[in-house]
Amino acid sequence: MSENKPRGRKRADDSKGSGSEKKKFFKPKRKSFKPKKAKTHADDGLIRLNRYLAHAGIASRREADKLIASGAVSINGEIVTELGTKVKPSDEVHYGGEKISGEKKQYVLLNKPKDYITTVDDPQKRRTVMELVVKACSERIYPVGRLDRATSGLLLLSNDGELTQRLTHPSSNVKKIYVVGLDKKVSKKDLIQLVEGVQLDDGTSHADKAYYHRNGEDKSQIVLELHSGKNRIIRRMMEAMDYKVIRLDRIQFAGLSKKDLPRGRFRHLSEKEVGLLHRLAGLQIKH
């Protein structure tokens, strides 16, 4: 007879794969917590000098470091050469003998609707173009030139004072193109007269080009290209020729176009467009 052997319990080390490793348990490493340093009041409003110079349009941050190291920049009358120097809002920074502002240069193009005043503030509480660009940037920008209340179209706004002065100076060579809607058809003879010159109270004024809008589908709609910066020049020229301006819309300014820019909307200029404006104004392009 076969003998029934009692079955014993298997030992833990008697299982298959006796060479297998025991399970390892890992404790997660605790990340050391470092409380953030509270921003002290003394740090409020401070900005690195190279960034300040970059915002002013003087140079890129890397190039600004070189200018600082060369001793070309001073703060409150003292030359600074140490990189990493910070500037307070109340500090006076000079470069090349001129006081500069660390405010970032902004260039905003607006497609102005009618019935908006081209001014920063109006005592009569009428609507101004500033209401349309209030969300464009935190910097305070100003209109470059003017468009009267009844005129629509392109208006540039910026805080670049030097560029504004150059573009609005009477001697500037800034081309502007307008679509003009009149109260009656314009003869070919009068189109020629607009280019040859129209006698006004302050002298003779003329357009560079004058032609029918959209190939003359409506001969009461013309296009005028001119460089003159005289006040209300188109309205005055047309009135002198016995026409009344019904609609005036600036479609180009200094090479800038309102293409894809709806009425009442704005956009920021690209770096390329800003560079073209500086070249047009005869200013050194600052990278």
Helices (H), the chain: 49-55, 61-69, 161-168, 188-196, 233-240, 271-280
pLDDT digits (tens, 9 = 90+) for 150-200: 999 999 999 988 889 889 887 787 999 999 999 999 999 999 999 999 999
Q: Pick the range with the lowest mean pLDDT from 36-40, 110-114, 150-154, 258-262.
A: 36-40
Give the CATH architecture of domain 42-100: Roll (3.10)
Give the CATH architecture of domain 107-170+262-280: 2-Layer Sandwich (3.30)
Higher pLDDT pick, 187 / 282: 187
Topology alike, domains 42-100 and 176-253: no
Domain boundaries of the chain, sorted by first residue: 42-100, 107-170+262-280, 176-253
Q: And the tokens for 105?
A: 């240069």
Fold entry, domain 176-253: Pseudouridine synthase (3.30.2350)
Point out which residues pair with 211 in neighbouring strands: 223
Active site residue 44: no
Long-range contacts of 75-83 (CB under 8 A, 24+ apart): 75/49, 80/49, 83/50
pLDDT (average), residues 251-271: 95
pLDDT value of position 4: 52
Catalytic residue selected from 115, 148, 183, 202: 148
Q: Is the pTM of this model over 0.75?
A: no
